[in-house]
């Protein structure tokens, strides 16, 4: 980014850049857009989560520039028409337009952008289906239904997002696995 996002609701605040920032959808939009994505169609808008890494560490970008990652939801894994390579730019524009509803200096603040869809995440990171949560974060896949920290092999423990409480970058899975290690080591 050439500059930090300027949020139309609080244009003078720089404190906002340090947290996870959501550009939400209305309840009605959620209800309408989720089935569209499941059917392989892009919805009119995306729910996005913004993470501005340079708010914490300016050294990761050239001086005066910023780095922001966007996690967009309700994008199809597989398109009804076309594929990720043919639709990549369209998805990127949709994400930027969705963010611009709340950020007055978008898209002008963007200097470079890379769009990664589920196939790209699967290829780069090895997550099956590009599913960053390694299973749905829904009641049927939560709590005791996620993988156990302790495996049948002595001394082998799991601490990834496939364990409770699931995805997000909060570190709780690792903490819980460490507690399991300590409990079994006593």
Give residue-wise pLDDT tens across range 99-132: 999 999 999 999 999 999 999 988 988 888 877 7
Q: Which percentage of the chain shows pLDDT scores above 70? A: 98
Give the pLDDT score at 134.
75
Look at residue 133 and tell me whether its pLDDT is greater than 80. Answer: no
Give per-residue pLDDT as tens, 16-70: 898 889 998 999 999 999 999 999 999 999 999 999 999 999 999 999 999 999 9
User: Quick check: 158 and 135 in contact, CB under 8 A?
Assistant: no
Is it the case that residue 7 has pLDDT exceeding 90? Answer: yes
Mean pLDDT of 69-92: 94
Global pTM reads 0.80
Does the pLDDT at position 169 exceed 70? no
* DSSP string for 29-95: HHHHHHHHHHTT---SS-EEEEEEGGGT-GGGS-TT---EEEEEES--SS-SSS-HHHHHHHHHHHH
């Amino acid at each position: 980014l050439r500059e930090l996002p300027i949020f139309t609701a609080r244009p003078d605040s720089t404190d906002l850049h340090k947290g996870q920032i959501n550009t939400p959808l209305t309840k009605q939009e959620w209800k309408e857009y989720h089935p569209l994505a499941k059917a392989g169609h892009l919805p009119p808008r995306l729910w996005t989560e913004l993470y501005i890494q340079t708010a914490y560490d300016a050294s990761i970008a050239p001086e005066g520039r910023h780095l922001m990652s966007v996690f967009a939801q309700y994008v199809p894994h597989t398109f009804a028409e076309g594929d990720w390579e043919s639709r990549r730019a369209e998805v990127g524009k949709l994400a930027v337009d969705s963010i611009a509803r709340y950020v007055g200096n978008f898209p002008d603040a963007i200097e470079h952008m890379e769009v990664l869809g589920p196939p790209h995440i699967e290829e780069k990171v090895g997550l099956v289906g590009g599913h960053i949560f390694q299973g749905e974060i829904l009641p049927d896949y939560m709590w005791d239904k996620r993988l156990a920290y302790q495996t049948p092999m002595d001394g082998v423990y799991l601490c990834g997002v496939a364990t409770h409480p699931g995805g997000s970058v909060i570190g709780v899975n690792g903490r819980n696995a460490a507690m399991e290690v300590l409990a079994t080591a006593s």
